[in-house]
């Protein structure tokens, strides 16, 4: 049977696009269903500020009357302007284990991008490196943590058989907060304490983000973010609207104690963000908050025992002065005080970000998952 590719144009098409993973992963014990309401907003130009600087096309694949695959092709004009490139991106890839289906999807995306002047294709990015990025290429025997992707192993062959080559690997480390970690805590504390005290003597201070005054805090955090990550591979600056959108999404689950800001003589220069792994709760909701999911969510948030260190950024000019230790020690001590957390994933780290990798390994972090970004010339 022939594979037919359709651009998403109607609400019915969009529903097919959004709901396909429920069919593909129905027997997968590790898949975490996203909230359907969030997915609808993600693909809505009215709700998602990414659309304001991007062109986006969603595709669905059908075979024998069944929906069997999906893909987005998108052009992030902010990315191309920042990197001086003509690169298109793909994301939200899902497919049955059928090379004809994946090829037809990538053919459609490539043609759509070429028609708009793009010279290369990078992904998976759903939608950018500021969002969910990469293809899982190892350790398929555990669920993803909050805001990390998941896919079956056969996706690797489907993507690589189309001619995609590795662009960059993104690493995930796991820190187990177990007896072995606690036996070594004095060694970890002593180093962080020594460097933190040096930073404090120099005039650095640390405080939690004030979530009651986000209108004051968000501009400070955005300034740090766009400055600190500016030279990172694949980075694209976040707009005010995008950062506000993210802040509103994370506010219900973020903990002030695990979101410290470092200031130097009153100027915010660094921040860290550790999130409870809300995926532990989302997994039980099957994508729906109502009628009873909201109660499961509120009750389940108190029982989450995993964390993800999602961001640690320091503005240029303030690095290697103990600011990182001030952030690490603050987040570590506050997490330990809560006593319920058993693991912390540090992700994602660029494979060549050796400074952060060494710091993570110093805290007894072990590399346990790798996510890959692919590139193909058009």
DSSP per position, 275-321: EE-THHHHTTTTT--TTTHHHHHHHHGGG--EEEEEEEEE-TTSTTS
Predicted confidence (pLDDT) per residue in 112-164, tens digit: 999 999 999 999 999 999 999 999 999 999 999 999 999 999 999 999 999 99
Residue 1: Cβ-neighbour burial (10 angstroms; 0-12, 13-18, 19+): exposed
The verdict on residue 360 lying in a domain is no
CA distance 329 to 188: 9
Q: What is the pLDDT of residue 283?
A: 92
Quick one: pLDDT band at residue 298, thresholds 50, 70, 90? low
Q: Are residues 182 and 156 in the same domain?
A: no
In a domain, 365, yes or no: no
> 159 and 135 in contact (C-beta within 8 Å)?
yes
pLDDT at 290: 61
Domain span at residue 30?
A: 3-169
| Centroid of chain to Cα 150 | 11
Domain boundary pick from 150, 169, 188: 169
Nearest to residue 341, comparing CAs of 274, 250, 285, 271?
274
Confirm whether 354 is domain-assigned: no
**Cα→Cα distances 128→149, 274, 277, 302, 371, Å:** 13, 20, 21, 31, 14
pLDDT of res. 319: 94
* 256 within a domain of the structure (yes/no): yes
The per-residue pLDDT for 23 is 98
For residues 92 and 150, membership in a common domain is answered with: yes
364: Cα separation from own chain's centroid: 22
The verdict on 146 and 230 lying in the same domain is no
User: What does the pLDDT read at residue 296?
Assistant: 64
User: What pLDDT shows up at residue 310?
Assistant: 97
Percentage of residues of the chain with pLDDT beyond 70: 97
When the pLDDT of each residue in the chain is averaged and rounded to a whole number, the result is 96
Q: Please compute the mean of the pLDDT values over residues 183-192 and round it to a whole number.
A: 92
The pLDDT of residue 301 is above 90: no
User: Among residues of the chain, what percentage have pLDDT more than 90?
Assistant: 94
Q: Give me the number of domains the chain comprises.
A: 2
Is the domain of 156 the same as that of 290? no
**What pLDDT is recorded for position 294?**
61
Residues 223 and 126 in one domain: no
Q: What is the pLDDT of residue 295?
A: 55
pLDDT the model gives residue 215:
96
Question: Among 24, 127, 5, which Cα is nearest to 72's?
Answer: 127
Same domain? 265 vs 145:
no
**Structural domain contains residue 284:** yes
Report the pLDDT value the prediction gives residue 166, as an integer from 0 to 100. Answer: 99
Q: Which of 135, 169, 203 is the last residue of a domain?
A: 169
Residues 198 and 96 in one domain: no
Note whether residue 186 is domain-resident: yes
pLDDT average, residue stretch 253-263: 96
Q: Is 98 contained in some domain?
A: yes
Residues 148 and 183 in one domain: no
> Which CATH number does the domain housing residue 16 bear?
3.40.630.30
Same domain, 258 and 230: yes
Shared-domain flag, residues 133 and 184: no
Judging by beta carbons within 10 Å of its beta carbon (0-12, 13-18, 19+), is residue 291 exposed, middle or buried? exposed
Q: Please check whether residues 85 and 150 belong to one and the same domain.
A: yes
pLDDT for 314-359, tens place per residue? 999 999 999 999 999 999 999 999 999 999 999 999 999 999 999 9
Tell me: do 22 and 132 sit in the same domain: yes
Which helix (H) or strand (E) element contains residue 41? helix 36-42
pLDDT at 324: 95
Q: Kindly state whether residue 378 falls inside one of the protein's structural domains.
A: no
Three-class SS state of 59 = strand
């Amino acid at each position: 049977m022939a594979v037919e590719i359709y651009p998403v144009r109607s609400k019915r098409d969009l529903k097919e696009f959004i709901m396909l993973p429920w069919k593909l992963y129905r027997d997968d014990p590790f898949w975490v269903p996203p909230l359907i309401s969030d997915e609808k907003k993600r693909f809505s130009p009215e709700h998602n500020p990414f659309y304001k600087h991007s062109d986006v096309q969603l595709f669905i694949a059908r075979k024998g009357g069944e929906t069997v695959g999906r893909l987005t092709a998108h052009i992030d004009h902010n990315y191309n302007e920042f990197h001086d490139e003509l690169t298109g991106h793909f994301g939200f890839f899902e497919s049955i284990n059928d090379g004809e289906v994946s090829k037809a999807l990538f053919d459609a995306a490539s043609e759509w991008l070429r028609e708009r002047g793009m010279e290369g294709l990078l992904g998976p990015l759903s939608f950018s490196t500021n969002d969910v990025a990469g293809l899982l290429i190892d350790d398929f025997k555990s669920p993803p943590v909050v805001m990390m992707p998941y896919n079956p192993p056969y996706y690797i062959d489907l993507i690589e058989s189309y001619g995609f080559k590795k662009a960059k690997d993104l690493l995930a480390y796991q820190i187990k907060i177990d007896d072995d970690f606690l036996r070594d805590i004095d060694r970890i504390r002593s180093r962080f304490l020594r460097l933190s005290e040096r930073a404090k003597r120099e005039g650095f201070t640390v405080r939690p983000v004030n979530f009651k005054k986000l209108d004051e805090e968000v501009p400070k955090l955005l300034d740090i973010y766009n400055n600190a990550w500016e030279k990172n591979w694949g980075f694209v600056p976040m707009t005010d609207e995008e950062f506000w959108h993210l802040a509103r999404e994370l506010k219900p689950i973020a903990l002030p104690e695990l979101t410290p800001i470092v200031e130097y003589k009153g100027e915010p220069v660094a921040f860290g963000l550790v999130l409870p792994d809300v995926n532990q709760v989302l997994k039980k909701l099957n994508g729906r908050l109502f009628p009873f999911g909201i109660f499961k969510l509120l009750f389940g948030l108190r029982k989450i025992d995993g964390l993800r260190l999602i961001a640690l950024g320091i503005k240029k000019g303030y690095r290697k002065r103990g600011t990182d230790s001030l952030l690490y020690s603050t987040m570590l001590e506050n997490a330990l005080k809560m006593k319920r957390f058993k693991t912390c994933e540090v992700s994602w780290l660029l494979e060549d970000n050796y400074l952060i990798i060494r710091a993570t390994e110093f805290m007894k972090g072990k590399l346990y998952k790798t996510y890959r970004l692919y590139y193909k010339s058009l």
